[in-house]
Amino acid sequence: MWFLQRWLDNPKTVKKMIYLLYVSLIISCLLGFAVQYGIAPPDHGEEHDALIFEKIPVFSAIYGFVCCVLIIILSKAFGHAGIMVEEDYYDK
């Protein structure tokens, strides 16, 4: 698996990956609009009145980002408020 290593250790690859990420972020948002307003209307296999935020094209993107940030910050704050203790806590 040397090729994987050489490929990933190359700074150029990392840079390319970052660009790829930017591009895919934009494409995914555009696709969200496309799905909502055009090429393929949302269909969950069963007719139902969608929840209000299912109609926002980039809802998943915003929600994913916000949730991830909140999970990390709030959990760490929770952990540092006394939940995280020394590893030998129970041995004392």
Partner 1 sequence: MTSDIAIVPPAAIFIIGALLIPLIPGRLKQIYLLLIPVVAFLDVLYMQEGVYWIHQFMEYNLIFGRVDLLSKCFGYVFTIAAFCMALYALHVKETGQHVAAYIYVGSALGVVFAGDLFTLFIFWEFLAWSSVCLVWYRRRKASIDAGFRYLMVHVVGGVILLGGIILYMQENGGSIAFDAFDYGSPGTILILIGFLINAAVPPLHAWLPDAYPEATITGAVFMTAFTTKTAVYVLARGFAGVELLMWLGAIMALYGVVYAVLENDIRRLLAYHIISQVGYMVCGIGLGTAMALNGTVAHAFSHILYKGLLFMGMGTVIYMTGKNKLTELGGLYKVMPLTMILYMIGAFSISGFPLFNGFISKSMIIHAAALDHNAIIFLMLECAAVGTFLHTGLKLPYFVFFGKDAGIKARDPPKNMLLGMGATAFACTLLGVYPQILYRILPFQPVLYHPYTPAHVVGTIQLLLFTYVAFLLLIKKLAGEPTISLDTDWFYRKGGVIFMWVVNNPLARGTQWTIDATLDVKDFAVWFSKNPVEALGIVVDKVCIRVLRISEGATAGEARAKKVFASRIQAYPGEPVRRDPIGVSVLLGTIFLFAYLVIYVVAPHLSVYSMIGLLVVAVAAGIGVRAREMMRGVKGRLGG
Give the contacts of 34 (CB within 8 A, at least 6 positions apart).
40
Note the residues at the interface with partner 1 (CB under 8 A).
1, 4-5, 8, 21, 24-25, 28-29, 31-32, 35-36, 39-40, 42-46, 48-54, 58-65, 67-69, 71-76, 78-79, 82-87, 89-90
- State the DSSP code for 47: -
Q: 45's torsion region: left (phi>0), alpha (psi -120 to 50) or beta? A: left
**Least distance from partner 1 to the Cβ atom of residue 18, Å:** 9
Least distance from partner 1 to the Cβ atom of residue 37, Å: 12
